[in-house]
Amino acid sequence: MLKQYTLSSLSAADIEQLVARNTDATHAIQDTVLHIIDDVRSRGDASLIELTAKFDKVTLEKLYLDKEDIEELALTITRDQQRALEIAFQNIHRFHSTQVRKERPIETMPGVKCWREARPIEKVGLYIPGGSAVLPSTLLMLGVPARIAGCKEIVVCSPPQQSGKINGFVAYCLLLLKIERIYLVGGAQAIAGMAFGTATLPKVDKIFGPGNQFVTKTKSLVQGMTNVSIDMPAGPSEVLVIADESANAAFVAADLLAQAEHGPDSQAVLVATSTRLINEVNIALEQQLRILPRAEIARMAIANSYAVEATDLQEAMRFSNIYAPEHLILETDAWNTLTPAIINAGSVFLGHLTPESAGDYASGTNHTLPTSGYARSYSGVSVDSFVKKITFQYIDEEGLRQIGSTVEILAELEGLHAHKNAVSVRK
């Protein structure tokens, strides 16, 4: 099932090649995306409608659903399903509410006061993937911190179902978030539409949300073409599981498959301290695949995945930090000894009873996370992602006496005499 490697036999170059994923060496994805961007930019709504018909096989009469449509669709799900979404909403809200902090002013010198204040990004675009799986949980993960941050306008895009609408779960999340419109656009065209704006779809200041390689590439490209920023490169999902002899092979297999069923380009990596455990996990994978509705998709992802045998947990952790996983699961009794060594990871799940799916849905942490090794330099989405931090300073007469000569000397040595004079005229 899983391709198998022994870490001690791999060179640094071998490891570098092994951890590479979602590359576009031939630029085929980029070329496709650039064509879509150009088309949306030049033809606007007409392009969005045509591309939706082409990729989603849905002919739209209008590009959005409004409040009345959303309320009607939300009534199609059961009360138990509504309650589950409400609990997830509440837990996500509780966790993210703790991220709102006011910084106190600092007097760096007598009479020189500096501080920062947060301001919400005014217009944000949330991309909710569709395709083979529709993700209402992603709407909560993005919409809750956007609401807490105080964003004035929240634009939501998601590809339409075959009915030309959205499902009731996404609709109910829109009600919870008090969002009264959703745009029925998916893929690269949705990102391009939010980046440049059309007659119907508003231009936003920052785009959020995971997606496939085409969505991820589009986000990166439009950030370079416009003044629109993005949350992070968040492409196909991935998990790395570190497991030792204390691990339950069935638990490990279940966690690997939970990622694998996202899509054929997802990756599930096992780093284990014994061949026996790897063999047991492979057996469990086959057993569990037999009963999964999305078994065909999961099999393709597993074929794109692998297992690595490490000498010990410390070596396993070193490999994990090189891989920099979106999701890291420590299925070992000794997880508390490993957490200080974690350098690169999007979100971490500790022990045998903490499945990654808990974080995907309802524990409270955010599941919009950096993939493809970007956990080396990016964090997951938080309230901070939806605000700007603006610095302020105030200098009184005493402050100008204290700091004035320092500024004059530094400006003069850099040859910027107008900078010096801006202080000198105030003395």
* Token pair listed for 357: 């799916």
Residue recorded with tokens 């808990």 = 358
**Inter-residue contact 368 to 209 (CB < 8 Å):** yes
- 212 among annotated binding-site residues: yes
- 22 among annotated binding-site residues: no
Residue 396: alpha-carbon gap to chain centroid: 44
Distance CA 20, CA 242 (A): 19
Distance CA 395, CA 418 (A): 19
Give the H or E element holding residue 42.
Answer: helix 28-43
- 259 among annotated binding-site residues: yes
* Helical axes 28-43 vs 187-196, angle rounded to 10°: 50
- 360 among annotated binding-site residues: yes
Active site residue 35: no
- 262 among annotated binding-site residues: yes
Q: List the one residue out of 363, 275, 358, 204 whose CA is nearest residue 2.
A: 275
Active site residue 68: no
Residue 318: alpha-carbon gap to chain centroid: 24
- 417 among annotated binding-site residues: no
Distance CA 313, CA 338 (A): 8
Distance CA 324, CA 317 (A): 10
Query: What length is written for the chain?
Result: 427
- 127 among annotated binding-site residues: yes
Catalytic residue, chosen from 280, 309, 326, 408, is 326
- 279 among annotated binding-site residues: no
The beta-strand segments (E) located in 87-143 are: 106-109, 112-120, 123-127
Distance CA 427, CA 422 (A): 10
Distance CA 404, CA 424 (A): 8
Catalytic residue, chosen from 96, 327, 367, 408, is 327
Distance CA 401, CA 418 (A): 19
- 414 among annotated binding-site residues: yes
Distance CA 301, CA 212 (A): 13
Gyration radius from the chain CA atoms: 25
CA distances from 278 to 58, 271, 314, 356, 417 (A): 44, 9, 18, 19, 68
Q: List the one residue out of 399, 382, 419, 397 whose CA is nearest residue 105.
A: 399
Q: Give the strand pairing for 112-120 and 106-109.
A: antiparallel
**Inter-residue contact 265 to 212 (CB < 8 Å):** yes
Distance CA 152, CA 119 (A): 11
Q: Which residues form the catalytic set?
A: 326-327
Q: Which parts are annotated binding residues for Zn(2+)?
A: 259, 262, 360, 419
Q: Which parts are annotated binding residues for NAD(+)?
A: 127, 189, 212
Q: Which parts are annotated binding residues?
A: 127, 189, 212, 237, 259, 262, 327, 360, 414, 419
Q: Which parts are annotated binding residues for substrate?
A: 237, 259, 262, 327, 360, 414, 419
